[in-house]
Chain A
Amino acid sequence: MQKVGIVEVAQSAGTESPLSLMEFTYKPVKEVLDKVGLKRDEVDMYILASTDVFHSGMSCANAFDWDASGAFMKPASREEGDAITAFVYGCMPIMEGRYDTVLVVGLIKGSENPENDTLTSFVADPFYSRPVGIQETTAAAMQMRLYLQRYGITEEQCAKVVAKNLGNALFNPYAHIKKRVSVDDVLNSERICDPLKALECAPKSEGVCAMLLASEEKAKKLTDKPVWFKGWGSSMDTFYLGDRDLLDTQLKTAAASAYKMAGVSNPRKEIDVAEICEPYAFQELLWCEQLGLCAQGQGGKLVDSGVTQITGDLPVNPSGGVLAMNPYVARGLYRVAEATLQIKGKAGEHQVDGKVNTALAHSTYGFCGQWQGVVILGG
């Protein structure tokens, strides 16, 4: 099996852009190709992640995505789940030895469509769940209530995640939300879906992320600091919330699989930085537990200890995470891109203090984290 190196990444900022989706997608793709010195037709394969219908509204991915990403007249495929899987699909033909270079692009313009809550209500089944109005936020609030009650996690501990992540986002040029908030600001924000407060919910953002992957030999030619793909795991739970224990998600399975492939035996010690997908603040704490970064029920103590601060021993979401930047569908590739920048030492003002050898990128989608995926990268 061939090694896969991440050669270069480019991101667009999350604030509303007047560019069309086509122009908006073109820019980061062009940036990556120019940085690396490749022409679009010199890339062996393209994998895209975008959304055709609800989160795009135009239902015409074929009209824009291929031209804008440079992918036409090349082997190419597009997926609708989360862009972190597009990253993995991009690694596969290189691991197999079939291709030397793959360009992965996740693209969305969140400003162009209605609220995420409107759109995710269409994710629910049309017979039982959709008519009563379930969507990701109402489901997350039910998960949060269980989390608070079962483990004695406090609302204040959840609010600390927002203060931390939005604080970090002030130093990330691509983050969407640039606003310093205190724990009290979060606790006093509107209780839109008790126990969830407005400031604990991610925004919806623009976001195109482009990333060039290459075989070991090619990667070493194209960059002096490739970042290596080390491991991957994913798992999908059943849809019905009633069939699941909402605090026992498939993230444990996904993480175990990724750690095994990467040879990580003690994630708390071996992982230097984690970029975690936390569309709702409490989920960062719950996901940290299920990733094995702390014991079950200890997510609150983890954030209290300060260890997940950008200056801490295990920084979580130094980029500001999804609470600061939520380009639905593309957000998983942003996590991989940010983990890559941390290993390269090129995260700029939000670069963590210590040397980063191993980084974790996580993404999730569906009600209460129905789908979970974990990527491990190494320097």
Chain B
Amino acid sequence: MAEQKEKPRKVASMGMVPYEMALGPTWTRFFEGFKEKKILGTKCRKCGRILVPARPFCPRCFEPMEEWVEVAQEGTVVTWSYVNYTYFGVTPDMIPVIGATIKLDGVDCGTGMWTQIGGFDIKDFELVTKKVKVGAKVRAVWRRKRQGNFRDIDYWKIIE
């Protein structure tokens, strides 16, 4: 590589391309349940576990999960984090957020992270540390208008 006097330049680039991803019959039914304020899980006929979100097959047993069950809308906080910083795609008006994994009563796994805790002034971190604890009881709070997606649950309210 030869010596040169110019300062090497950079070229800016922004990629935006459309995708269309199949939700599939299992997850379509799961989100359709949201419209009726129902949280649906699937039960494995082999190991007997009830999983939420619903699955087309049991990941452990690798057998189809064909039995649907409506599950409780209350559960306990497994763990949580307090997201209070910005990065590309997250602007100051979008924070703070309390992300959580919640184990619904009677369900054999946690909810993953499609759950956010709210219903009080979550900007007050002192208050957050008083209210949000591992093991705290929570209940789903639904939006009035529901469209069959994850946003239909507005937030999870601390009830204990």
Contact = CB atoms under 8 A, between A and B. Distances in A.
Nearest to B7: A18
B79 A146 contact: yes
Nearest to B107: A242
A246 interface: yes
Contact of A242 (B13, B82, B87, B111): B111
Contacts of B112: 128-129, 240-243
B80 A142 contact: yes
A242 B110 contact: yes
Contacts of B88: 114-115, 118
A196 interface: yes
A20 B1 CA distance: 12
Interface in A110-164: 114-115, 117-118, 121, 124, 126-129, 131-134, 138-139, 141-143, 145-146, 149
Interface stretch (B61-69, B96-104, B138-146): B96-104
B125 A194 contact: yes
A23 interface: yes
Contact of A114 (B78, B87, B134): B87
Contact of B113 (A134, A146, A190): A134
Contacts of A138: 81, 83, 99, 113
B151 interface: yes
B23 interface: yes
A23 B125 CA distance: 48
A103 B81 CA distance: 42
Interface residues of A, number: 43
B79 A192 contact: no
A323 to B, nearest CB: 18
Given A18-B7, A57-B13, A129 B113 contact: yes
Contacts of A243: 51, 59, 109-110, 112
Contacts of A145: 79-81, 134
A226 to B, nearest CB: 31
A29 to B, nearest CB: 13
A145 B98 CA distance: 13
A128 B21 CA distance: 13
Given A133-B99, A243-B59, A128 B85 contact: no
A58 interface: yes
Given A138-B99, A191-B84, A240 B109 contact: yes
Nearest to B90: A133
A55 B25 CA distance: 32
B80 A23 contact: no
Contacts of B13: 57-58
Contacts of B7: 18
B53 interface: yes
A142 B81 contact: yes
Contacts of B102: 242
A1 interface: no
A146 B13 CA distance: 40
B158 to A, nearest CB: 16
A133 B52 CA distance: 19
A311 interface: no
Interface in B108-147: 109-116, 125, 134
Contacts of B90: 117-118, 133
B15 A57 contact: yes
B89 interface: yes
A141 B53 CA distance: 22
B150 A131 contact: yes
A229 to B, nearest CB: 32
Interface centre among B78, B97, B101, B112 (most CB of A within 10 A): B112
B8 interface: yes
B57 interface: no
A30 B83 CA distance: 43
B83 A193 contact: yes
Given A57-B15, A132-B114, A134-B99, A242 B78 contact: yes
A355 to B, nearest CB: 39
16 contacts: A128-B114, A131-B150, A132-B99, A132-B116, A142-B100, A142-B101, A145-B81, A146-B79, A191-B84, A193-B84, A194-B125, A238-B59, A240-B109, A241-B112, A242-B52, A243-B112
Given A134-B113, A145-B134, A195-B81, 12 more contacts: A20-B8, A57-B15, A121-B89, A128-B114, A129-B112, A132-B113, A132-B150, A133-B99, A142-B81, A143-B79, A194-B84, A242-B111
- 5 closest A-B pairs by CB: A242-B110, A141-B81, A194-B82, A192-B85, A128-B114
Interface of B: 1, 7-8, 13, 15, 21, 23, 27, 51-53, 59, 78-85, 87-90, 94, 97, 99-103, 109-116, 125, 134, 149-151
Interface of A: 18-20, 23, 57-59, 114-115, 117-118, 121, 124, 126-129, 131-134, 138-139, 141-143, 145-146, 149, 190-196, 198, 238, 240-243, 246
